[in-house]
Chain A
Amino acid sequence: DAGVIQSPRHEVTEMGQEVTLRCKPISGHNSLFWYRQTMMRGLELLIYFNNNVPIDDSGMPEDRFSAKMPNASFSTLKIQPSEPRDSAVYFCASSRDTYTGELFFGEGSRLTVL
């Protein structure tokens, strides 16, 4: 079975540019999570959706970050404008529902903002 699919795997961009990260969750999973991982801050939850509805976006750093889930099989995380401090690995994860701790993570999108 296909796992969580993220794209792009690597992105290098210049400060001020718009970045869009994409995620396809596992079919049948109702919850989707966006995490960011850095050396300094570890794994941080940015936002999560249940049944395509954003439930908690308290981890989104600031207005430059936005996330959407237009349908059950697709989500995007957008950064506009990007800054060097946004450089990190961004993970998407999905789970059957929000009442399990068994999240299935994608392989991540490594973002470098110059």
Chain B
Amino acid sequence: GESVGLHLPTLSVQEGDNSIINCAYSNSASDYFIWYKQESGKGPQFIIDIRSNMDKRQGQRVTVLLNKTVKHLSLQIAATQPGDSAVYFCAETRRDSSYKLIFGSGTRLLVRP
């Protein structure tokens, strides 16, 4: 499961720090957003989702923030761990497209020990 590699933006953080990964989406009609994590050699894995009637949703160590005004989505990871090193993708969809997910290009997160 090789992720998009050559031109991926990379975020490097110290273990234990918080990470913030950003995503801009283009379609103002999108009403459902999802974050996925892809580790090297594996398929993407669902992390958390948020619908457009919300601006914040929390999971275990992760928080997703949605700003519909500027079409921006962010994923916050608290107390980043080495196992969080991966490529993170945001995906968007909308009801009138039968929930067909469109994935962004991804951000690589590197956690320094």
A43-B99 in contact (CB<8A): no
A14 contacts partner chain B, Cβ-Cβ < 8 Å: no
In the complex, residue of chain B having the shortest beta-carbon distance to the beta carbon of A100: B99
Give bound CA distance, A20 to B91, whole Å. Answer: 28
User: Which A residues touch B103, using CB under 8 A?
Assistant: 42-43
Chain B binding surface SS class:
loop
Tell me whether A105 and B44 are in contact in the complex, defined as CB-CB below 8 angstroms, given that A37-B1, A98-B98 are known contacts: yes
Closest CB in chain A relative to B38 CB, distance in Å: 8
Interface flag for B2 (CB, 8 Å): yes
What total of A-B pairs shows CB separation below 8 Å?
66
Residues of A within 8 A of B32 (CB): 101
Q: Is A45 interfacial (CB-CB < 8 Å)? A: yes
- List A residues 21-43 near B (Cβ within 8 Å): 37-39, 42-43
- Residue of B1, B100, B101, B106 near A42 (CB, 8 A) is B106
Q: Verify A107–B1 contact, CB threshold 8 A.
A: yes
Q: Number of A residues contacting the other chain (C-beta, 8 Å)? A: 25
Please name all residues of chain A whose beta carbon is closer than 8 Å to the beta carbon of B49 when the two chains form the complex: 101-102
Closest chain B residue to A41 by CB distance?
B4
How far apart are the CA atoms of A50 and B13 in the complex, in Å? 41
Check B34–A37 contact: CB distance below 8 A.
no
Also in contact, A45 and B1, with CB within 8 A (given A107-B43, A108-B43): no
Residues A93 and B98 in contact, CB atoms below 8 Å apart: no
B98 engages A91 (CB within 8 Å): no
A101 touches B93 (CB 8 A): yes
A48 & B100 in contact (Cβ 8 Å cutoff) = yes
Asked if residues B4 and A89 are in contact (CB atoms below 8 Å), the reply is: no
A28 vs B101: C-alpha distance in the bound complex, in angstroms?
A: 21
Chain B residues whose CB sits within 8 angstroms of the CB of A18 once the complex forms = none
For chain B residues 3-61, which have a beta carbon within 8 Å of chain A?
A: 3-6, 32-34, 41-46, 49
**Chain A contacts to B: CB under 8 angstroms:** 4, 37-39, 42-43, 45, 48, 55-56, 89, 91, 93, 98-108, 110
